[in-house]
């Protein structure tokens, strides 16, 4: 082991001891540290002033009780989290996730990833994440509203347009942002539009924010394909999930001439050899709040499956857009043997370390989440800009800015990978490019 490898292994061992029982956080840090070995070999000053240890330790972790009353007048108690990870580049920025699997380790992994993602956008935003183990599935609108109000009754004192600006994530869409914003406005006694993003269009929201993560992921995919002289036109694409990110990734991929041959939810997956009827999917998921199995009942040529995996489908491109660790090493091998040449992560950390290694070995162009799904947070930052200037931009202008930002992220990712002799390795490129900007800011700002 070289001395740099030993030094990095030392950071990681200490992190494992101090953050026991948080495997997703360990996984996210391990991937970044692996890339940082390359940086430290060239620029050892990045280890000065305890920089790496400080980067891996959140600036602040807030955990709180969220009591609420269900429709049967029973008191329920959930746990709320907000991890304010790093504000060297700007106010903390990152979504809120409501899902029964949420715990501190999940929020820390998401907050850690968010630091580098936000840095890559080139916009002045730090990294944070939050959420709760509340399960919105099957809950009435009244229950969801009461939960959101109770959650915000604690969170509001920790956020603000210059401090911390939450947004949506799994289980938190436009409806929940509305309930959260309403309670914030009531408690703070001010209409501070910049305090949350993903708002409704008549009260400070931005056009394109709803579509941004899915569209951005497809724009990033296009760039990876362009680099190899190919395009989405005529390609077959698999998109996992059927939530906010997946729906708009499907829409944009098809708009650019691809056929989306499958999508999924946590119960099963749908094969759509003739492509997806996006209007029907939107109606089923966003309006009726039903399941993908209902789509298969209504769409001609579509079939629903609970056996096997969506990754068994044959395609040129795969866009995992559901959740963390949904694509394992064996899935990656199947995708490769079925001809997949491009993978871009719409979700956060959907591919396991083994899957990424399979893609690397087989020269699959792989866009990691912190680069490929940065379009959502980038457009949230554009929403903040519109709020600050009390302006609202057109759809085309905002989409143009998003497109430009995604091309910029691809370019800096690709050129950084080349600079460090790892051409085509977008994991290394994204980690190093995201890291250097934050690290330079932290070094300039002293030991804080
Ligand atoms: P949604 O809640 O809108 O949708 C999540 C989707 O993933 C649902 O279809 C859900 O199905 C499905 N899903 C969840 N768990 C599994 C599983 N184990 N297997 C298969 N499908 C599953 O969330 P988003 O679309 O907003 O977020 C999806 C991913 O994208 C997350 O990783 C999120 O962190 C990431 N992301 C989101 C951004 C955004 O702007 N919204 C920005 C950047 C990243 P079911 O209904 O059955 O639970």
195-221 pLDDT, tens digit each: 999 999 999 999 999 999 999 999 999
**Residues 348, 96: Cα–Cα separation, whole Å:** 13
Cβ of 24 less than 6 Å from ligand 1 = no
Please check whether residues 352 and 266 belong to one and the same domain: yes
Please check whether residues 335 and 225 belong to one and the same domain: yes
> For 247-283, how does the pLDDT look when each residue is reduced to its tens digit (9 = 90+)?
999 999 999 999 999 999 999 999 999 999 999 999 9
Please tell me the predicted confidence (pLDDT) of residue 176.
Answer: 98
User: Among 363, 388, 406, where does a domain finish?
Assistant: 363
- Nearest ligand 1 atom to the CA of 110 is 34
Cβ of 376 less than 6 Å from ligand 1 = yes
Which residues share a beta bridge with 343? Answer: 318, 366
Which residues share a beta bridge with 318? Answer: 238, 343
* Residue 384 pLDDT > 80: yes
* Residue 3 pLDDT > 90: no
Comparing CA positions, the residue from 304, 345, 321, 311 lying closest to residue 246 is 321
Give the residue with greater pLDDT, 1 vs 372.
372
- Nearest ligand 1 atom to the CA of 198 is 40
Average pLDDT over residues 320-338: 98
Please check whether residues 47 and 86 belong to one and the same domain: no
List C-alpha distances in Å: 416 to 91, 361, 387, 424, 432: 26, 20, 33, 10, 7
Cβ of 322 less than 6 Å from ligand 1 = yes
| % of the chain exceeding 70 in pLDDT | 100
Contact criterion met (CB below 8 Å) for 242 and 266: no
User: Among 363, 389, 419, where does a domain finish?
Assistant: 363
* Residue 395 pLDDT > 90: yes
Q: What is the tally of structural domains in the chain?
A: 3
CATH number for the domain spanning 20: value is 1.10.285.10
Contact criterion met (CB below 8 Å) for 272 and 250: no
Cβ of 267 less than 6 Å from ligand 1 = yes
Ligand 1 centre to CA of 290 (Å) is: 15
Domain annotation covers residue 105 = yes
Ligand 1 centre to CA of 204 (Å) is: 24
**What's the whole-number average pLDDT of the chain?**
97
- Nearest ligand 1 atom to the CA of 269 is 20
CATH number for the domain spanning 138: value is 3.40.50.10860
Comparing CA positions, the residue from 147, 135, 216 lying closest to residue 401 is 216
Please tell me the predicted confidence (pLDDT) of residue 399.
Answer: 98
Contact criterion met (CB below 8 Å) for 246 and 321: yes
**Residue 331: partners with Cβ closer than 8 Å, 6 or more residues away:** 309, 311, 355
Domain annotation covers residue 24 = yes
Whats the size of the chain, residue-wise?
448
List C-alpha distances in Å: 275 to 182, 253, 281, 338: 39, 10, 11, 18
Ligand 1 centre to CA of 320 (Å) is: 9
Helix 23-42 and helix 104-120, axial crossing angle in degrees, nearest 10: 40
Cα 231 versus chain centre, distance: 24
Does 93 count as an annotated binding residue?
yes
Domain annotation covers residue 265 = yes
> For 50-80, how does the pLDDT look when each residue is reduced to its tens digit (9 = 90+)?
999 999 999 999 999 999 999 999 999 999 9
Cβ of 379 less than 6 Å from ligand 1 = no
pLDDT-derived band at 326, boundaries 50, 70, 90: very high
* Residue 152 pLDDT > 80: yes
pLDDT-derived band at 194, boundaries 50, 70, 90: very high
Domain annotation covers residue 313 = yes
What phi and psi, each to the nearest 5 degrees, are found at residue 415? -70, -35
Please check whether residues 170 and 222 belong to one and the same domain: no
* Helix ranges restricted to H, 268-422: 278-282, 292-298, 329-337, 353-361, 369-372, 375-388, 395-419
Residue 316: CB atoms within 10 A of its CB come to 20
* Residue 1 pLDDT > 80: no
Domain annotation covers residue 263 = yes
Q: Tokens 């029907």 appear where?
A: 280
Please check whether residues 45 and 81 belong to one and the same domain: no
Does 363 count as an annotated binding residue?
no
Active site amino acids: 129
Coil, strand or helix: which one is 111?
Answer: helix
User: Among 330, 363, 396, where does a domain finish?
Assistant: 363
Average pLDDT over residues 162-183: 97
Average pLDDT over residues 398-421: 98
**Residues 273, 270: Cα–Cα separation, whole Å:** 10
Does 213 count as an annotated binding residue?
yes
Does 338 count as an annotated binding residue?
no
Domain annotation covers residue 284 = yes
Please check whether residues 38 and 68 belong to one and the same domain: no
Please tell me the predicted confidence (pLDDT) of residue 249.
Answer: 98
Average pLDDT over residues 301-324: 98
Ligand 1 centre to CA of 399 (Å) is: 22
List C-alpha distances in Å: 342 to 120, 125, 312: 21, 29, 15
* Residue 85 pLDDT > 80: yes
Contact criterion met (CB below 8 Å) for 435 and 116: yes
Cα-Cα-Cα-Cα torsion 320, 206, 113, 22, nearest 10 degrees, comes to -80
Please check whether residues 318 and 183 belong to one and the same domain: no
**Residues 34, 50: Cα–Cα separation, whole Å:** 18
Please tell me the predicted confidence (pLDDT) of residue 2.
Answer: 84
Please check whether residues 284 and 235 belong to one and the same domain: yes
DSSP single-letter state for residue 98: E
Residue 329 belongs to domain spanning: 211-363
Domain annotation covers residue 274 = yes
What phi and psi, each to the nearest 5 degrees, are found at residue 107? -65, -35
Domain annotation covers residue 280 = yes
- Nearest ligand 1 atom to the CA of 348 is 32
Please check whether residues 335 and 266 belong to one and the same domain: yes
């Amino acid at each position: 082991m070289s001395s740099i490898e030993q030094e990095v292994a030392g950071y990681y061992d200490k992190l494992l001891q101090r953050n026991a029982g948080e495997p997703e956080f360990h996984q996210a840090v391990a991937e970044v540290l692996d890339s940082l070995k390359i940086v430290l070999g060239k620029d050892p000053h990045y280890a000065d002033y305890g920089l790496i240890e400080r980067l891996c330790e959140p600036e602040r972790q807030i955990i709180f009780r969220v009591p609420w009353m269900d429709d049967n007048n029973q008191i329920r108690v959930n746990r709320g989290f907000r991890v304010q990870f790093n504000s060297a580049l700007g106010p903390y920025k990152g979504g809120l996730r409501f899902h029964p699997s949420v715990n501190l380790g999940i929020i820390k992994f998401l907050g850690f990833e968010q630091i580098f993602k936000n840095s890559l956008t080139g916009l002045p935003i730090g990294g944070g994440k939050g959420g709760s183990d509340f399960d919105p599935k099957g809950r009435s609108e009244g229950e969801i509203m009461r939960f959101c109000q109770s959650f915000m009754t604690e969170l509001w004192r920790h956020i603000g347009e210059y401090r911390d600006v939450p947004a949506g994530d799994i289980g938190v869409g436009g409806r929940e942002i509305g309930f959260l914003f309403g309670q914030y406005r009531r408690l703070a006694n001010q209409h501070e539009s910049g305090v949350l993003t993903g708002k409704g269009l008549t009260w400070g929201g931005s056009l394109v924010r709803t579509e941004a993560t899915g569209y951005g992921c497809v724009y990033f995919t296009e760039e990876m394909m362009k680099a190899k002289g190919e395009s989405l036109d005529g390609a077959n694409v698999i998109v996992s999930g059927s939530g906010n990110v997946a729906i708009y990734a499907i829409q944009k991929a098809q708009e650019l001439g691809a056929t989306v041959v499958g999508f999924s939810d946590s119960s099963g997956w749908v094969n759509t050899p003739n492509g997806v009827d996006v209007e029907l999917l939107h109606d089923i998921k966003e309006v009726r709040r039903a399941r993908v199995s209902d789509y298969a009942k209504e769409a001609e040529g579509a079939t629903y499956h609970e056996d096997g995996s969506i990754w068994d489908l044959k395609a040129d491109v795969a866009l995992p857009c559901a959740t963390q660790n949904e694509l394992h090493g064996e899935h990656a091998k199947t995708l490769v043997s079925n001809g997949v040449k491009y993978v871009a992560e719409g979700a956060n950390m959907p591919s396991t370390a083994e899957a990424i290694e399979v893609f690397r070995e087989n020269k699959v162009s792989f866009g990691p989440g912190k680069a490929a799904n940065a379009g959502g947070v980038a457009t949230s930052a554009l929403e903040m800009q519109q709020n600050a200037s009390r302006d609202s931009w057109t759809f085309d202008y905002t989409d143009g800015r998003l497109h430009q930002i995604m091309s910029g992220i691809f370019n800096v990712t690709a050129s950084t990978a080349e600079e460090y002799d790892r051409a085509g390795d977008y994991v290394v490129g994204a980690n190093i490019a995201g890291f250097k900007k934050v690290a330079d800011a932290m070094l300039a700002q002293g030991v804080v």
